[in-house]
Amino acid sequence: MPAQAEGKAAAPALSAPQKALHKLGLVRDIDLALHLPLRYEDETRIVTLRGARDGQLAQIEGTVTNSEITQRPRRQLLVTLDDGTDTCTLRFFTFYPAHQKTLALGQRVRVRGELRGGFLGWTMVHPAFHAAGGELPDALTPVYPTSAQLPQAYLRKVVASGLRRADLGENLPPALLGGLNAVVRGTWTLRDALQFLHHPGADVSLDALEDRSHPAWQRLKAEELLAQQLSQFTARQERAALSAPALRAKPGGLHEQLLGVLPFALTTAQRRVGEEIARDLMRQIPMHRLLQGDVGSGKTVVAALAAAIAIDAGWQCALMAPTEILAEQHFAKLIGWLEPLLAPLGKRVAWLTGSQKKKQRGEMLALIASGEAALVVGTHAVIQDQVVFKNLALAIIDEQHRFGVAQRLALRGKMGAGMTGGEPHLLMMTATPIPRTLAMSYYADLDVSTIDELPPGRTPIVTKVVADSRRAEVIERIRSQLAQGRQVYWVCPLIEESEALDLSNATATHAELSESLPGVLVGLLHSRMPVAEKKAVMSLFTGGQMGVLVSTTVIEVGVDVPNASLMVIEHAERFGLSQLHQLRGRVGRGAAASACVLLYTPPDSGRLGETARERLKAMAETSDGFEIARRDLEIRGPGEFLGARQSGAPLLRFADLATDTHLLEWARAAAPVMLAEYPQQAEKHIARWLGGKAEFLKA
């Protein structure tokens, strides 16, 4: 029986080029219409050989006056073409009988390629050619990004028909078009803009097309940014329709008590962001806030204060950090402050980590389910299925950029058994500040609080970029720091291709330092050590008995040892900028003058690569996290800046946040108007640009 008869339509088999199209994401007509040329070829004119220049990319037409295959210096087809003004030799090293036929003696042909004016007259190597005749196109010929399975000529045809069929009707209401035309500097519809960009006329300036400043490009980019803003605003609206418990600090309650036991006064910035968070918590809408503040700016205590509000109101709070050692190090203080205050309330702190014994984990799960654990601290283990909260009101994610979209979504779904229609408040923390344009675009659905001041009494960190050949001097410097009772970090790079190599590097450095510093306890910390051993090493360092800690990048975030005054980073040229900045932030946490030494090893070939040099330069020039983030964005571009983990969010294909801020600002203002007054068009616009991908943006 045929499959259809059973009511199951067989999916039509895709041809090889169709498969290749799907691979490029070219499925719908609109996808094809938005598949824009990489560059253009000019086939609109025929150049005469007499008027041509050496090196010119030219199209010529003429009669074949000679066509022969020679064997020397290697087998090739040599064709002489006479265009009436001069002759040109065409050389082909690969050719087929059909080619020879088109290029046979006496044929008229049109060829296109790079003209070389050699000693023996004009030549072209492997030009494109076809029999002469037919009208010249009046537009430039598009060259599309493609793959090996997808011939350019085929792609041109399908893109052209996609462009013809796609629904390119105007989505923008007339009320918004005026403003758009002003920022775009022209009145272009999407249809006109696409038609133009696929097939620009022969007289168009290729520069304006290339740098995408042409109004047609601008219109396209404005549309793309609008779609992104619309989906972000929609996510915000959807969140506003959800409910969350309204939490309010009580007079004399946990929040106030915590402030009372802190060994320091909050900075103005900490107070301000604390109030921003407290205001969010009072609302019945789930908070979605990013707390950004440079390394060492004191985010943890702000998190603790928010937790105190939630717990005092009778709810649970979860704190999640990317690794176990970070969770432990980072939250040790927080727990030290809160635990004594929880005890009189009959509440406890529960830990959840991957390395836990089954029995212990079982106990923790029970504490969490019963609600006895008011505060739950841990790693990714917190979002696993078996973890059932009684009533989770606040979820705090530290170093949020190390978590993926799916993990954030999972946490939001964990409010508690039987509590439907609600979501916990979400507070994300990061030491990697988000540059303004990114905050306006990818993170438009987030409210942002910024701690822009460091606690008092910190001395600025001096950063030195030093060649590895001066290692002995660096070790001398370590000796003098140790003599003053200070402690030192030495970080070895992660060698991505090989964890084993990574380890041997750290081990070798550890041995070297142990030998050069007799009588000093030098510790080693790397990611493959058992957790218990890691903890033992960390506690020796935190306790001050260990003078030097050699480690791979496990200490990247969160560790807090105020007595450490020197950070040495080996092979600093291999680290990313924000990573270097994070590492540097491990020192300068106390009153002592601190320094960071960036050791670099030039490659055998000589100089460091340009981006590596730029990164080290930026580190030496500034210790301001915002400036570092801005330069990082400049060096890497938003795709890499956001990181692979964020790849659920479709990146902008056309708009460039560095140059298109004016378009972004327009889109940001237009989106709420469109959603409020023209919701149908808004929906159509999101579908056109984001297809099924809009969901990802909502995490």
Question: Based on CB atoms, which residue is closest to ligand ADP, 451 or 524?
Answer: 451
User: Which position among 193, 222, 352, 431 is part of the footprint of ligand ADP (CB under 6 A)?
Assistant: 431
Q: How far is the CB of 344 from ligand ADP (least distance, A)?
A: 24
> CB of 330: closest distance to ligand ADP in angstroms?
7
* Residue 686 to residue 302: CA distance in whole angstroms: 37
Rounded CA-CA distance 41/32 in Å is 20
Q: Does residue 293 belong to the site contacting ligand ADP (CB under 6 A)?
A: yes
Residues in contact with ligand ADP, shown as a per-residue x/- string from 308 to 347 under the rule CB under 6 A: -------------------------x--------------
Check residue 295 for interaction with ligand ADP (CB under 6 A): yes
Residues in 559-598 that interact with ligand ADP by CB under 6 A: 560, 589
Residues 6+ apart with CB under 8 A from 493: 502, 505, 552, 553, 569, 570, 571, 572, 574, 575
Q: Which one, 301 or 628, has the nearer CB to ligand ADP?
A: 301
Q: Report if residue 296 touches ligand ADP, rule: CB under 6 A.
A: yes
Counting beta carbons within 10 angstroms of the beta carbon of residue 691, is it exposed (0 to 12), middle (13 to 18) or buried (19 or more)?
A: middle
**Residue 297 interacts with ligand ADP (CB under 6 A)?**
yes
CB proximity list for 137: less than 8 A, separation 6 or greater:
43, 44
Spell out the residues 6+ positions from residue 206 whose beta carbon is closer than 8 angstroms to its own.
40
Q: Across the chain, which distance is largest between two alpha carbons, in Å?
A: 103
Query: Nearest-CA neighbor of 485 among 547, 532, 432, 575?
Result: 547
Q: Should residue 380 be labelled a site residue for ligand ADP when binding is judged by CB under 6 A?
A: no
Q: Measured from the CB of residue 576, what is the shortest distance to ligand ADP in angstroms?
A: 18
* Residues from 530 through 559 that contact ligand ADP (CB under 6 A): none
Inter-residue contact 393 to 316 (CB < 8 Å) = yes
Q: What is the Cα–Cα distance from 167 to 165, expressed in whole angstroms? A: 7
Rule CB under 6 A: say whether 486 interacts with ligand ADP.
no
**Nearer residue to ligand ADP within complex by CB, 171 or 578:** 578
DSSP state of 497: T
**Interface region with ligand ADP, contact rule CB under 6 A, candidates 38-46, 130-138, 182-190, 293-301:** 293-301
Cβ 247 to ligand ADP shortest distance, Å: 22
Is residue 624 close enough to count as binding ligand ADP by CB under 6 A?
no
Name the β-bridge partners of 304: none
Q: Which of 90, 172, 230, 301 binds ligand ADP (CB under 6 A)?
A: 301
From the list 194-202, 261-269, 411-419, 624-632, the region that binds ligand ADP by CB under 6 A is 261-269
Distance from C-alpha of 300 to C-alpha of 326, rounded to nearest angstrom: 12
CA atoms within 13 A on the CB side of 93: 5
Choices 176-184, 264-272, 473-481, 657-665; region in contact with ligand ADP by CB under 6 A: 264-272
Question: Measured from the CB of residue 577, what is the shortest distance to ligand ADP in angstroms?
Answer: 17
Structure tokens at 673: 């108007």
Please tell me whether residue 646 binds ligand ADP under the rule CB under 6 A: no
Say whether 633 sits in a helix, a strand or coil: helix
- Supply the minimum distance, in Å, between the C-beta of residue 295 and ligand ADP: 5
Length of the chain: 699
Q: Which stretch binds ligand ADP (CB under 6 A): 297-305, 317-325, 411-419, 591-599?
A: 297-305
By the rule CB under 6 A, 266 interacts with ligand ADP: yes
Cβ proximity to ligand ADP: between 255 and 299 the closer is 299
CB 139 within 8 Å of CB 202? yes
For residue 268, count CB atoms less than 10 angstroms from its CB and return exposed for 0-12, middle for 13-18, buried for 19 or more: exposed
**298 part of the interface to ligand ADP, by CB under 6 A:** yes
Interacting span for ligand ADP (CB under 6 A) from 100-108, 180-188, 262-270, 385-393:
262-270
If the CB atoms of residues 333 and 571 are measured against ligand ADP, the closer one turns out to be 333
**Please, which residue, 150 or 301, has the CB nearer to ligand ADP?**
301
Residue entry with tokens 């272009």? 188
Minimum distance from residue 328 beta carbon to ligand ADP (Å): 13
Q: Based on CB atoms, which residue is closest to ligand ADP, 296 or 493?
A: 296
Q: Which helix (H) or strand (E) holds 301?
A: helix 299-312
Looking at 253, 371, 455, 643, which residue binds ligand ADP (CB under 6 A)? 455
Interaction between residue 264 and ligand ADP (CB under 6 A): yes
Stretch that binds ligand ADP, among 26-34, 44-52, 65-73, 299-307 (CB under 6 A): 299-307
Three-class secondary structure assignment of 514-558: HHHCCCCCEEEECCCCCHHHHHHHHHHHHHCCCCEEEECHHHCCC
Q: Decide if residue 615 touches ligand ADP (CB under 6 A).
A: no
For residue 319, report the phi and psi dihedrals to the nearest 5 degrees.
-120, 125
Contact 577, 515 (CB under 8 A): no
Give the residue from 311, 312, 269, 262 showing the smallest Cα distance to 291: 269
Structure tokens given for 625: 């996290």
- Count of residues of this chain found to bind ligand ADP when the rule CB under 6 A is applied: 17
256/468 with CB nearer ligand ADP: 256
In terms of phi and psi (left: phi > 0; alpha: psi -120 to 50; beta: otherwise), the region of 158 is alpha
List the one residue from 195, 300, 323, 552 that touches ligand ADP (CB under 6 A).
300
Provide the 10 A C-beta neighbour count for residue 133: 9
Q: Which residues bind ligand ADP (CB under 6 A)?
A: 264, 266-267, 270, 293, 295-301, 333, 431, 455, 560, 589
